[in-house]
């Protein structure tokens, strides 16, 4: 659905341009032609030019590169009742996400080029936004044998990850990392000490103890990270931490960077905007993996993001049906949908004065695209015309029933949000407008 070329050049003018590459946040316009950005024009528009272009007045709304969301779970194959490529694609378009970097933790796992091609074919048929698929690092995500990393890469896999399933066998992981390194493939890790975190549904501390919820120390994240970084130092592989969420783990990340290792890190928007107290009343929509952290950790992560230590913000979109959430907390499924709330929730950080919009869009669009070797995420000439137009201030109360996702498990239901997507462009085509 992303192939059709637009009929004639389009000029998006009277916009507030947010350019994460140059740091520009101010008036400007963007000229789209043939699915790519023909010109990015900060400042006042020269009189009388671009006469042949169709003009779209942005009325001062923000125009930024479309979001590249790393870690989206689509239920195909296997759990289409939770989310299909169609519903996920519509949700993404409504949320300003122009590329969904999909996870491999499907049923069956995306661990062969055949399953990967199936997913890509389905996506091409029904999704209005782009798909950049990840593939499993080990067969069946079982942590025993590596997948056909070479074939999968040829078939289009942009990164390799077993999702939240930690490869517990260090030998298997070290071999997979060195094999991936020889192909220049990016490996994404979920950092948790698997034994310590077994059965945990919350972060350990006064709160989870009083609630009687099995919990894990935040130290388990540091242990997982330290192990993986030691292996990265050994193998020199390219490595991305899917979510870093604790103060305890940060120093290891900074050390690895200083040592020149090819390491980047992401975080889910939930860990930047919610904390462990949100699970009060055993609210299972707030059960995510890793569990929500202490407020001190959340604040430290926001700081690390603003300082550029954390590169990527993602939604970790994880659709779950009502049945798997309407259970006692420890028995309920983990995960939250996030494609449509990623931008408005991220804008909380902007409104609170923690981060400017260009920097925010570096984390949402530019950095993830760069890390995966994708062309999007930029406003520069020649980049694909994947754009999001949004009003950063529009207030509303989120009603989960209005979400495009098949699953409605959002932690932001009934919450006040500020910032709304007005339009989404993929390959120069407007795929969403409000």
Residue 206 lies near another protein (rule: CB under 8 A)? yes
Q: Is 414 in the site for another protein (CB under 8 A)?
A: no
Q: Tell me if 213 sits within 8 A of 329, measured CB to CB.
A: yes
Task: Tell whether residue 245 is a contact of another protein (CB under 8 A).
Answer: no
Residue with tokens 């779970």: 73
Q: Which residue among 207, 255, 300, 303 contacts another protein (CB under 8 A)?
A: 207
Q: Does 199 bind another protein (CB under 8 A)?
A: no
* E strand intervals along 312-386: 312-314
* Cβ neighbours of residue 54 closer than 8 Å, sequence gap 6 or more: 8, 9, 10, 11
* Nearest-approach distance from CB 105 to another protein, in angstroms: 24
Q: How far is CA 105 from CA 36, 138, 161, 434, in A?
A: 32, 11, 9, 32
- Residue 204 CB, nearest approach to another protein (Å): 4
Pairwise CA distance, residues 107 & 122, whole Å: 15
392/373 Cα distance (integer angstroms): 28
Site string for another protein, 125-154 (x = CB under 8 A): ------------------------------
Q: Does 182 bind another protein (CB under 8 A)?
A: no
Nearest residue (CB) to another protein, 116 versus 248 = 248
Q: 245-248: list long-range contacts, CB under 8 Å, 24+ apart.
A: 245/218, 245/221, 245/271, 245/290, 245/293, 245/297, 245/301, 246/218, 246/221, 246/222, 246/293, 246/297, 246/301, 247/218, 247/296, 247/297, 247/300, 248/218, 248/219, 248/221, 248/222
Burial class, 388, CB count within 10 angstroms (exposed 0-12 / middle 13-18 / buried 19+):
buried
Among 46, 47, 107, 326, binds another protein (CB under 8 A): 326
Q: Between residues 42 and 205, which has the closer beta carbon with respect to another protein?
A: 205
Which single residue is written with the structure tokens 């550029």?
308
Of the candidates 1, 66, 58, 16, which has an alpha carbon nearest to the alpha carbon of residue 365?
A: 66
Is 170 one of the binding residues for another protein (CB under 8 A)?
A: no
Cβ at position 328, least distance to another protein in Å: 3
Nearer to another protein, 172 or 196 (CB): 196
Does the protein bind another protein through residue 205 (CB under 8 A)?
yes
Q: For another protein, which is the closer residue by CB, 31 or 216?
A: 216
Q: Look up residue 368 and give its two tokens.
A: 């993830």
Among 148, 262, 330, 413, binds another protein (CB under 8 A): 330
Nearer to another protein, 32 or 223 (CB): 223
| Nearest to another protein of 33, 330 (CB atom) | 330
**Cβ neighbours around 140 below 10 Å, total:** 14
User: Distance between CA 39 and CA 49 in Å, rounded?
Assistant: 12
Q: Residue 187's beta-bridge partner residues?
A: 160, 239
Binding mask 253-292 for another protein (x = CB under 8 A): ----------------------------xx----------
Residue 412 contacts another protein per CB under 8 A: no
Instruction: Name which of 44 and 210 has its Cβ closer to another protein.
Output: 210
Q: Which is nearer to another protein, 212 or 382 (CB)?
A: 212
Which residue in 5, 234, 307, 327 binds another protein (CB under 8 A)?
Answer: 327
CB 401 → another protein: shortest distance, Å? 19
333 touches another protein (CB under 8 A): no
Check binding of 118 to another protein (CB under 8 A): no
Asked if 320 is part of the footprint of another protein (rule: CB under 8 A), the reply reads no
Asked if 328 is part of the footprint of another protein (rule: CB under 8 A), the reply reads yes
Smallest distance, another protein to C-beta of residue 209, A: 4
**Which of 14, 36, 217, 418 touches another protein (CB under 8 A)?**
217
| 295 is a contact residue toward another protein (CB under 8 A) | no
Distance CA 372, CA 366 (A): 10
Residue 433 binds another protein, judged by CB under 8 A: no
Report how far residue 98's alpha carbon sits from residue 68's, in angstroms, rounded to the nearest whole number.
6
Nearest approach in angstroms of CB 327 to another protein is 7
> Least Å distance between CB 409 and another protein?
16
Decide: is 251 part of the binding site for another protein (CB under 8 A).
Answer: no
Euclidean distance between CA atoms 114 and 59, whole angstroms: 46
Say what the alpha-carbon torsion angle 240, 246, 252, 254 is, to the nearest 10 degrees: 70
Q: CA gyration radius for the chain?
A: 21
Q: Which residues here bind another protein, judged by CB under 8 A?
A: 204-213, 215, 217, 281-282, 323, 326-331
């Amino acid at each position: 659905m992303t192939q059709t070329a637009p009929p004639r050049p389009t000029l998006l003018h009277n916009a507030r341009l947010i350019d994460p590459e140059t740091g520009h946040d101010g008036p400007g316009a963007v000229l789209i032609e043939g699915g790519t950005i023909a010109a990015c024009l900060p400042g006042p528009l020269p009189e009388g030019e671009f006469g042949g272009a169709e003009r779209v007045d942005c009325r001062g709304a923000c125009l930024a590169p479309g979001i590249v969301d790393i870690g989206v779970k689509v239920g195909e194959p296997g759990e289409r009742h939770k989310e299909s490529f169609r519903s996920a694609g519509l949700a993404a378009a409504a949320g300003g996400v122009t590329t969904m970097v999909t996870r491999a933790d499907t049923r069956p796992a995306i661990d062969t080029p055949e399953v990967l091609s199936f997913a890509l074919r389905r996506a091409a048929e029904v999704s209005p936004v782009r798909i950049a698929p990840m593939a499993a690092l080990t067969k069946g995500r079982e942590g025993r044998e590596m997948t056909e990393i070479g074939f999968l890469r040829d078939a289009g896999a942009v990164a390799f990850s077993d999702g939240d399933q930690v490869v517990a066998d260090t030998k298997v992981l070290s071999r997979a990392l060195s094999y991936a390194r020889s192909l220049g493939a990016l490996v994404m890790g979920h950092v948790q000490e698997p034994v310590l975190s077994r059965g945990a549904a919350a972060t350990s501390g006064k709160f989870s103890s009083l609630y009687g919820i099995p919990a894990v120390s935040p130290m388990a994240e540091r242990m997982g990270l330290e192990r993986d970084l030691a292996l990265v130092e050994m193998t020199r592989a390219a490595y991305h931490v899917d979510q870093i969420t604790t103060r305890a783990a940060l120093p290891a990340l900074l050390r690895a960077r200083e040592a020149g290792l090819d390491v980047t890190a992401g975080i889910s928007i939930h860990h930047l905007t919610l904390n462990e107290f949100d699970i009060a009343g055993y609210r299972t929509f707030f059960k995510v993996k890793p569990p929500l952290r202490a407020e001190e950790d959340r604040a430290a992560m926001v700081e690390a993001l603003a300082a550029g230590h954390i590169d990527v913000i993602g939604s970790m979109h994880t659709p779950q049906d009502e049945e798997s959430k309407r259970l006692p907390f420890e028995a309920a499924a983990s995960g939250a949908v996030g494609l449509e709330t990623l931008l408005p929730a991220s804008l909380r950080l902007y409104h609170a004065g923690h981060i400017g919009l260009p920097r925010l869009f570096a984390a949402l669009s530019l950095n993830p695209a760069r890390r995966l070797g994708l062309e999007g995420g930029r406003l520069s000439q020649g980049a694909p015309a994947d754009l999001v137009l949004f009003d950063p201030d529009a207030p509303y109360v989120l009603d989960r029933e209005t979400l495009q996702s098949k699953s409605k498990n959002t932690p932001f239901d009934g919450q006040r949000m500020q910032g709304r997507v007005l339009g989404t462009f993929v390959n120069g085509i407007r795929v969403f407008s409000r």
